Amino acid sequence: MELVLQHVSKNFGGLRAVGDVGFTVKKNAIFGLIGPNGAGKTTVFNLITGVYKHDEGTIRFGDKDLAPLKPAQIAAVGIARTFQNIRLFSQLTVLENLLVACELQKRAHLAAAVLRLPVHYEDEEAMTERARELLRVFDLEDVAEEPSTSLPYGNQRRLEIARAMMLKPKLLLLDEPAAGMNYGEAEGLKTQIRWLRDTFDLSVVLVEHNMQVVMGVCEDIHVLDHGETIAHGTPDEVRQHPKVLAAYLGEDESETEARSEGAPFRSDSKGA
């Protein structure tokens, strides 16, 4: 299914956080959403997932208009996400974090669980099995019974992706998955993102500052600055685009020589 944004705008009081942004994420694409800090990338994510409501424009997923849906309903449509600042259920174990994400797919609801109908056991068993499978995939099997916050940072990031995958999403939104990763880990992440796309047959949208990852894995890149689109295209096109260079490096284009992959984005880690 395609995710289509058309003329989407969002104002916070007098501040125009997102202005007239439009793009299409094709089925099975790996799509990059980049821009300097404060460009509105995470706001776009929050608009897609319903955390904020857009003021103008349309956001459609397949043939469904996402505007009237609440975040939980958007998750049910098949859009899963991770967060820039990791949001795990801290008091729950790693396994439970995943199990929460499959409440939607359950046939057994509260009454069935209270009466302990067979369907309750079947559900719990099937879901636990699926969760353990995903934990195996994400190499978190050993810590399944640990509280989620006791994991080291990198594992928490992987757990967040694993939890999102429990939803069986058709579209996965990753908000800075490479934050805090070193070169080797970022290389690994590239492989993992492609593998996720191919194995689970989904589209991926990536908000990321790490150019090594963005340029290496995205097929299509959309660049925002101050909430507005400044460029769109393949990694090579975007890399050469004068507006992109200006946005990241300032107007003086002689400095572009000094740009090495990823370097311009290292100065800040928080943003969007």
Partner 1 sequence: MSRSAKKRSSKLSLVGLGVLVVVVLLDFFLKAIIPDSSIRQLLMLAACNVLVALSLNVINGMAGQFSIGHAGFIGIGGYTSAVMASHLHASLGGGEPTFARSFIVVPVCLAASAGMAGVFGLFVGLPSLRLRGDYLAIVTLGFAEIFRLVIATAQASDPTAKGGLLTKIGGALSSLGGQNGYQGIANQGVPLYAGPFWVFGLAFVLGVIAWRIKFSGWGRALRALREDEIAGAAVGIDPTRYKVTSFVIAAVGAGIAGGLMAIMRDGTPTVNPDNYNFAASFDAITMVILGGSGSVTGSAIGGVFITFTIKAIELLQNTGVVQDLRRSIEGLDLNALRMIIYAMVLVALMILRPEGLLGERELFQKRPPPKPKGPTKNTAAPPDTPATVKA
Least spacing, CB of residue 219 vs partner 1, in Å = 25
Judged by CB, which is closer to partner 1: 27, or 70?
Answer: 70
Long-range contacts of 7-14 (CB under 8 A, 24+ apart): 7/56, 7/57, 7/58, 8/44, 8/47, 8/54, 8/56, 8/57, 8/58, 8/59, 9/54, 9/55, 9/56, 9/57, 10/40, 10/43, 10/47, 10/52, 10/54, 10/55, 10/227, 11/55
Judged by CB, which is closer to partner 1: 64, or 239?
Answer: 64
Judged by CB, which is closer to partner 1: 10, or 120?
Answer: 120
Least spacing, CB of residue 179 vs partner 1, in Å = 17
Name the region of 89 (left: φ>0; alpha: ψ -120 to 50; beta: rest): beta
Least spacing, CB of residue 167 vs partner 1, in Å = 6
Query: Residues with Cβ < 8 Å from 225, sequence gap 6 or more?
Result: 35, 36, 39, 243, 247
Least spacing, CB of residue 117 vs partner 1, in Å = 9
Query: Residues with Cβ < 8 Å from 207, sequence gap 6 or more?
Result: 33, 34, 41, 42, 44, 45, 84, 173, 174, 175, 176, 272
Interface residues with partner 1 (CB under 8 A) are: 49-51, 70-73, 75-76, 80-81, 83, 87-93, 96-97, 99-104, 106, 108-110, 113-114, 116, 118, 120-121, 123-125, 127, 132, 136, 141-147, 150-152, 163-164, 166-167
Structural tokens at position 197: 């796309």
Least spacing, CB of residue 25 vs partner 1, in Å = 18
- Write down the residue that tokens 């909430």 correspond to: 227
Least spacing, CB of residue 256 vs partner 1, in Å = 38
Judged by CB, which is closer to partner 1: 92, or 249?
Answer: 92
Judged by CB, which is closer to partner 1: 90, or 269?
Answer: 90
Judged by CB, which is closer to partner 1: 176, or 220?
Answer: 176
Judged by CB, which is closer to partner 1: 87, or 266?
Answer: 87
Q: How far, in Å, CA of 252 to CA of 31, rounded?
A: 29
Least spacing, CB of residue 43 vs partner 1, in Å = 14
Bridge partners, 203 (sequence order):
171
